[in-house]
Amino acid sequence: MQIHSAALLGAGAVGSYIIWGLADNSRVRFGLMADGARRERLQAEGITINGRNYHPAVWGPDDMQPVDLIIVALKYNALPGSLDLLEKAVGPDTIVMSLMNGVDSEEIIGKQIGMQHMLYSLIKIASHKEADGFHFDPAPEKTVGIIFGEGQAPYDSERVSAVMDLFAGTGIRIRATEYAREEEWSKFRLNICNNLPQAELGVGVGCYRDSIHMEAIREGLRREVEAIAQAKGIDLKKVAATAKGSAVPPYSRYSTLQDLDAGRHTEIDMFSGAIMRMGEELGIPTPFNTYTYHFIKALEEKNDGVFDYSPDDQTLVKAW
- CA separation for the pair 122, 187 (Å, rounded): 8
C-alpha 146/C-alpha 242 separation (Å) is 13
- What DSSP line would sit under 35-85, residue for residue? -HHHHHHHHHH-EEETTEEE--EEE-TTT---EEEEEE---GGGSGGGHHH
Of 296, 270, 274, nearest to 224 by C-alpha is 274
Contact 73, 102 (CB under 8 A): no
User: What residue ranges do the domains of the chain occupy?
Assistant: 5-178, 182-303
Q: How far is CA 163 from CA 26, 94, 96, 106, 172, in A?
A: 15, 12, 11, 17, 12
β-pairing verdict for 118-124 and 145-149: antiparallel
For 85-127, the pLDDT digits (tens) are: 999 999 999 999 999 989 999 999 999 999 999 999 999 998 8
d(CA 64, CA 62) in angstroms, rounded, equals 6
- Considering the domain delimited by 5-178, tell me its CATH architecture: 3-Layer(aba) Sandwich (3.40)
Q: What is the pLDDT of residues 163-187, one digit of tens each?
A: 999 999 999 999 999 999 999 999 9
pLDDT at 243 over 60: no
CB 94 within 8 Å of CB 10:
no
| Contacting residues for 123 by C-beta, under 8 A, at least 6 apart | 14, 17, 73, 99, 144, 145, 146, 147
Q: Which residues pair with 146 in a beta bridge?
A: 123, 174
- For the 182-303 domain, the top CATH level (class) is mainly alpha
Q: Each residue of 183-229: pLDDT tens digit?
A: 999 999 999 999 999 999 999 999 999 999 999 999 999 999 999 99
DSSP 3-state of 7: strand
Where do runs of H (alpha helix) occur along 114-169? 158-167
Tens of pLDDT, residue by residue over 16-71, are 999 999 999 999 999 999 999 999 999 999 999 999 999 999 999 998 999 999 99
Q: Collapse the DSSP code of 262 into the 3-class scheme (helix H, G, I; strand E, B; otherwise coil) and give the result.
A: coil
